[in-house]
């Protein structure tokens, strides 16, 4: 805590050395490469407060004071913007709330209301990412608890979930986001299987999709300056290389249960990805119809 006033940032009280080093080493060069490729750069901030974990439990002054939490969050957002020219698109109140931490829906809701107002007053473009739970079913519990809180949804820019455990609620999240006009996202899992991407796109309606670590897709060589692409890289590449940001997924149907299809439209061009990886998959010729 910098001082006892949530409306006054005492910059000298913060130690930003680690954040500055990592931002210069990783975030800024990555941002430059993405934008040089003509793609938008998106960044979300998701702080963890695991009880007994590597981060440590949330201190009482932060948990019990929405004002102090808003100062905690906006001081970092402002520092990133002023010191590095990086403005985060989204901010999560707590990474995986209610998973080994004390962030229940009521707590998260009051934090969103206060933080949303403060970000707006400061002129930050950052929106709230909510709820970023451990899986879709946990996320749906948070959504249900706050679904009638109009002020909360005024500040939410994306609805997100992780992929550990039961994710049967993905269609509910997809439909709720569509009704609200808010995109959905799968923002963490540790598996790199292509069918999970397909399910998150179709069942979850995901507009953002993230893997926690790319170790299964890339292998770093011992020289520390090069890498090889592992097996899991190639299926994911069939979407990530050809389907660029801004593309919109459209309906694609297959008359063969073992063959699934994804289709996207961007600037009048259509990209189709065929997945011949289902049960009963075999080497076969296919006919694609309906393309312009």
pLDDT in tens, 218-251: 777 888 788 888 888 888 888 889 999 999 999 9
CA distance 187 to 60: 28
Q: Flag whether pLDDT at 280 surpasses 90.
A: no
CA distance 41 to 116: 22
Q: What is the pLDDT of residue 223?
A: 85
Mean predicted confidence (pLDDT) in 69-85 = 97
Give the tens place of pLDDT for each residue, 87-116.
Answer: 999 999 999 999 999 999 999 999 999 999
Q: What is the pLDDT of residue 278?
A: 76
Please report which confidence band the pLDDT of residue 215 belongs to, taking 50, 70 and 90 as the band edges.
low
Q: What is the pLDDT of residue 212?
A: 82
Q: What is the pLDDT of residue 153?
A: 98
Nearest CA to 173 out of 212, 200, 210, 209 is that of 200
Give the tens place of pLDDT for each residue, 37-54.
Answer: 999 999 999 999 999 888
Q: Flag whether pLDDT at 213 surpasses 80.
A: no
Mean predicted confidence (pLDDT) in 54-62 = 92
User: How much is the CA Rg of the chain, to the nearest whole Å?
Assistant: 21
Rounded to the nearest integer, the mean pLDDT of the chain is 93
Q: What is the pLDDT of residue 216?
A: 65
pTM value is 0.93
C-alpha neighbours within 13 Å on the C-beta side of residue 117: 10
Q: What length does the chain have?
A: 292
């Amino acid at each position: 805590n910098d001082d006892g006033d949530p409306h006054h940032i005492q910059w000298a009280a913060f130690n930003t050395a680690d954040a500055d080093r990592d931002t210069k080493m990783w975030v800024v060069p990555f941002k430059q490469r993405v934008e040089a490729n003509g793609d938008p750069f998106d960044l979300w901030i998701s702080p963890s407060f695991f009880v007994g974990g590597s981060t440590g439990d949330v201190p009482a002054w932060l948990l019990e004071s929405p004002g102090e939490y808003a100062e905690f969050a906006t001081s970092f957002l402002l520092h990133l913007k002023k010191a590095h020219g990086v403005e985060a698109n989204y901010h999560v109140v707590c990474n995986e709330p209610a998973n080994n931490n004390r962030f229940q829906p009521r707590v998260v809701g009051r934090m969103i209301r206060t933080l949303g107002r403060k970000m707006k007053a400061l002129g930050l473009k950052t929106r709230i990412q909510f709820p970023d739970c451990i899986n879709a079913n946990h996320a749906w519990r948070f959504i249900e608890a706050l679904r009638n809180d109009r002020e909360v949804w005024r500040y939410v820019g994306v609805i997100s979930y992780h992929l550990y455990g039961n994710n049967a609620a993905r269609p509910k999240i997809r439909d709720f986001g569509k009704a609200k006009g808010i995109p959905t996202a799968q923002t963490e899992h540790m598996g790199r299987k292509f069918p999970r991407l397909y399910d998150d796109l179709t069942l979850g309606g995901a507009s953002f999709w993230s893997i926690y670590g790319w170790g299964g897709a890339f292998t770093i060589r011992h020289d520390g300056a090069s890498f090889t692409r592992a097996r899991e890289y190639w299926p994911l590449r069939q979407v990530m290389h050809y389907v660029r940001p801004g593309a919109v997924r459209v309906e694609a149907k297959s008359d063969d249960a073992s063959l699934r299809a994804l289709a996207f439209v961007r600037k009048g061009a259509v990209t189709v990805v065929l997945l011949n990886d289902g049960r009963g998959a075999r080497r076969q010729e296919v006919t694609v119809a309906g393309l312009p």
